[in-house]
Structure 1
Amino acid sequence: MPAHHRQLPIYLKGQEIFEITAKIIDLIPENDEILSHVKGMMLEDAALLTVKVSGAEAGDLYDIRMENAAIIRKAGRDLFTHCTTLEMYGFTDTQYLVLIREAIEAYKVLFREWVKGFDAWNYSIDDWGLFNPPGINPESGE
C-alpha cells in the first residue's frame, strides 16, 4: 500500500490525537484500577483514528471504506466520552482534556470531508446490507 494515506490531513490529525492522548493518560496513576482501565480504552480508540484510515485507503471499495469510517466515528465518540469518565472518576489533571476534545472536533471536520470523497460506485455488494451505495439491494445485486 502506498504511504500517501499518511499525508492525508485526517491521518495526520489522528496521529496528533494519539500523541496528545498518550501524553495525557500518562498522568493517570497506575494504582487507580478504574482510571487505568479507561486509559487502555482511550489509547485503543485514539489508535483507531489512524489505523482505520489506513484500512479504508487500502481497501478502496466503498463498503470497506464506509465500514472503517463507522469504526472511526465510534472510536472518536468513545474517546470524547472517556474524557468525561476521567472527570467523573477523579482524574486530577482534567484541564488537559480540552486538548483531546478540541482535537476531536477538528478531526470531525476532516472526517466529513474525507467521507465525501468516497466513490460510492466503486463497490462490491455488502451482503449484510449496511454499507451498500444508495439504491443497491444485496438480495438482487442491483
Structure 2
Amino acid sequence: MINDEDERFNSELDEWRKLPVFKQALVILHLVEHIIEGIHLDDPHPSTHYKLRLYERYTRQMMENALLIPSEIATADSTDLYDHKMENATIIRKAAKEIIADSKGLQASGYKEAEYLELLYDAVEEFRPLFAEWVQSFSTKNFIIDRWGLFNPPGVSYDDPVDTMSFDSKSFLRDLEDDWDDGDDDDLI
C-alpha cells in the first residue's frame, strides 16, 4: 500500500519538472553559474579589490535569484490556491528582473564577457512569455482572500466577506484529519 502511495507522490512531485517555464529557469541558472565560474581576478592592482567586491555582490545576488526562480516555480505548482500561486509568481518575476539588473551592474563594473550576458538576456527573454502563459493557466477557483489586496482573483476585493472565499478551511482540516487517521500508520513502523 505504501509503495503505491509513494509512486503516486513521486509522480506528482516530478510534474513541475516537466513545465517549460521550469526548464527555462534551469537554463538561466546554468548560465548564471557559467558566468560566475568564468570570473577570475588575479590582478594585484588596488582597483581590482573594489572591482572584486562589486563582482562578488552582483554575482551573489544573481545566483540567489537564479536559484530562487525554479524553487518558487515548484512551490507555486504544489498548491491549488490562486493567491499563493500569484505570490510565488511575483517573487519569480522580481528575481528575473533582478538578474538582468545585476548582470548590467556586472558589465558596468568591467565584466568583459558580454556574449555570456547576451545569452543570459536572451534566456530571460525566452523565459518571460513561458512565465506569462504559466501564470495565465492558474485557476482562480480556489483562493483565500488576500486582505492586503495584492493576490486576489479578478473580481475579488480585499474587503469582501469571508463567505465569498472558495477555500473551505473546515473541510480542508477535516480531510487532513481523515488522511491522518486512515489507519495505515502501522505500515510505517
TM-score (norm 2): 0.71
Secondary structure in 2 matching 1:56: helix
Corresponding residue of 1:136: 156
Specify every segment of 5 or more residues in structure 2 that has no aligned partner in the other structure, as ranges.
1-11, 42-48, 165-189
What is the Cα deviation at residue 26 of structure 1? 1.3
What is the Cα deviation at residue 92 of structure 1? 2.0
Specify every segment of 5 or more residues in structure 1 that has no aligned partner in the other structure, as ranges.
none
Q: Does the Cα contact within 8 Å between 1:28 and 1:39 map onto a contact in 2?
A: no
Secondary structure in 2 matching 1:59: coil
1: CA distance, partners of 2:20 / 2:157: 33
If asked which structure has higher relative contact order (CA below 8 Å, sep 6+), I would say: 1
TM-score (norm 1): 0.93
Residue 156 of structure 2 aligns with an amino acid whose one-letter code is I
Residue 21 of structure 2 aligns with an amino acid whose one-letter code is I
What is the Cα deviation at residue 124 of structure 1? 1.2
What is the Cα deviation at residue 120 of structure 1? 1.2
Larger Rg: 2
Cα offsets for 1:44-94 (capped at 9, x unmatched): 111122011011011221000000111111111111111111111011222
Corresponding residue of 2:30: 19
Secondary structure in 2 matching 1:140: coil
In the comparison of the two structures, how many residue pairs are matched?
Answer: 142
Identical counterparts, % of pairs:
35
Say whether residues 1:84 and 2:104 are aligned partners: yes
2: CA distance, partners of 1:60 / 1:25: 36
Corresponding residue of 2:129: 109
